[in-house]
């Protein structure tokens, strides 16, 4: 049995990766994208149940904001959180870099949906 369990030794695998790095990255991405997207979908659906479609309503404390604007504010908060985590600041709320990125991606998806909803209502 090879060291990697796939018929190649570690040395052979390293040579392959060095020779075909983009192919290796592409295969990795092909495997990971569905997993990440499914996790994001499950997270969005669960949070939507918890928050009751609030992403598509004007905020209670800032009723003059359109839902898309409120989502941009939330996205801005997440970007600030990313900057904080990336600079090495200690996490104090139990939110990892990955959690923050998933939240930001979720807000991006919700913003796209809100924009499409607004467009559909105009048409």
Average pLDDT on 37-59 reads: 89
Cα angle 107, 108, 111 (rounded to 5 degrees) comes to 85
Q: What is the pTM of this model?
A: 0.73
pLDDT of residue 24: 67
> b or e along 70-91 (b: 16 or more beta carbons within 10 Å of the residue's beta carbon)?
bbeebbeebeebeeebeeeeee
d(CA 76, CA 68): 12
Query: To the nearest whole number, what is the mean pLDDT of the chain?
Result: 83
């Amino acid at each position: 049995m090879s060291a990697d369990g796939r018929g190649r030794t570690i040395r052979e695998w390293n040579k392959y990766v060095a020779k075909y790095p983009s192919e290796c990255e592409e295969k990795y991405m092909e495997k990971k994208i569905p997993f990440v997207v499914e996790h994001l979908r499950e997270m969005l659906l669960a949070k939507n149940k918890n928050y009751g479609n609030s992403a598509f309503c004007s905020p209670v404390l800032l009723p003059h904001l359109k839902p898309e604007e409120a989502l941009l504010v939330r996205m801005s908060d997440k970007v600030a959180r990313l900057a904080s985590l990336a600079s090495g600041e200690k996490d104090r709320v139990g939110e990892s870099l990955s959690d923050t990125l998933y939240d930001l991606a979720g807000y991006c998806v919700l913003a796209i949906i809100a924009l499409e909803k607004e467009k559909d209502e105009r048409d």
